[in-house]
Amino acid sequence: MEIDFPQGKKLRLLVGDITKLPVDAIVNAANSGLRGGGGVDGAMHRAGGPVIMRELDAIRASAGGCPTGSAVVTGAGALPAQYVFHAVGPVYQDGLHGEPEQLANCYRRCLELAEQHGVRSISFPAISTGVYGYPLEEAARIALATIASRLRHPDCPVQNVSLVLFDQAAYTVHARIAAAARATSSKSAESL
Ligand code: APR
């Protein structure tokens, strides 16, 4: 599914392995210790090689890690990208502990980093929806609304955003929410 925005900007939803899609910057779903793990993080380090962890070691040594809702930048090693933005999503408790804002902040921060680094194409996984247990529908609403809000802005230089879903079920949820949001009035905060 492809959603068009002003100035030729696009948001694409697709099913696949995020480590295989060539873009300027790939977003990783990391942890605040930046120590690697399973899921997207594991796949990213396996495909990118040890150089990414060496850069994270240096960031950890100087900054101690990365707070929830933020992201740090490394090179991409052997991944088909220039940068990896390691975003730290919230661990889901019940949605009443600031998780929605923290999740939105991950997407916002990565788009800000994209602008600062001259990135024109960026891919996101569904941050927090795996090990961190964020309910898929709620996370999808936040991801789509946050990305759309930035892409709509005339000052946003990022041209192509891909949301790479790992399986068809996750894709279907995101596509349904995107289609429903597009059908609502453009005055709605949730419209795409
Ligand atoms: N490409 C795209 N999506 C993927 C891939 C992949 N190669 N591998 C997993 N996913 C999907 C999962 O199905 C899930 O929907 O990415 C989403 C996020 O899942 P996780 O990787 O578990 O990330 P998250 O829930 O944010 O948990 C972060 O997991 O491994 C650790 O170090 C990581 O501690 C951190 C935690």
With a 6 A CB cut-off, is 162 part of the ligand 1 pocket? no
**Secondary structure of the chain in the HEC alphabet?**
CEEECHHHCEEEEEECCHHHCCCCEEEEEECCCCCCCCHHHHHHHHHHCCHHHHHHHHHHHHHCCCCCCCEEEEECCCCCCCEEEEEECCCCCCCCCCHHHHHHHHHHHHHHHHHHCCCCEEEECCCCCCCCCCCHHHHHHHHHHHHHHHHCCCCCCCCEEEEEECCHHHHHHHHHHHHHHHHCCCCCCCCC
What's the confidence (pLDDT) of residue 184?
74
Over the stretch 84-141, which tens digit does the pLDDT of each residue have? 999 999 999 999 999 999 999 999 999 999 999 999 999 999 999 999 999 999 999 9
What's the confidence (pLDDT) of residue 168?
98
In the residue annotation, 41 being an active-site residue is answered as yes
Over the stretch 32-62, which tens digit does the pLDDT of each residue have? 999 999 999 999 999 999 999 999 999 999 9
Q: What is the mean pLDDT of residues 154-161?
A: 96
Which residue segments constitute the domains of the chain, with CATH numbers given? 2-183 (3.40.220.10)
CB 72 within 8 A of CB 63: yes
How far apart are alpha carbons 98 and 12 in whole angstroms? 27
Mean of pLDDT over the chain: 95
Query: Picking from 52-56, 127-131, 148-152, 181-185, which range would have the lowest pLDDT averaged per residue?
Result: 181-185
What distance in angstroms lies between residue 30's CA and the mean position of ligand 1's atoms? Answer: 8
- With a pLDDT cut of 70, the percent of the chain lying above it is 96
Given a cut of 50, is residue 189 above it in pLDDT?
Answer: no
Q: Which of 4, 17, 41, 167 is catalytic?
A: 41
Which residue from 131, 162, 172 has its CB within 8 A of the most atoms of ligand 1, so it is best to mutate?
131
What's the confidence (pLDDT) of residue 191?
66
- Phi, psi at 103, each rounded to 5°: -65, -45
pTM: 0.97
What distance in angstroms lies between residue 164's CA and the mean position of ligand 1's atoms? Answer: 11
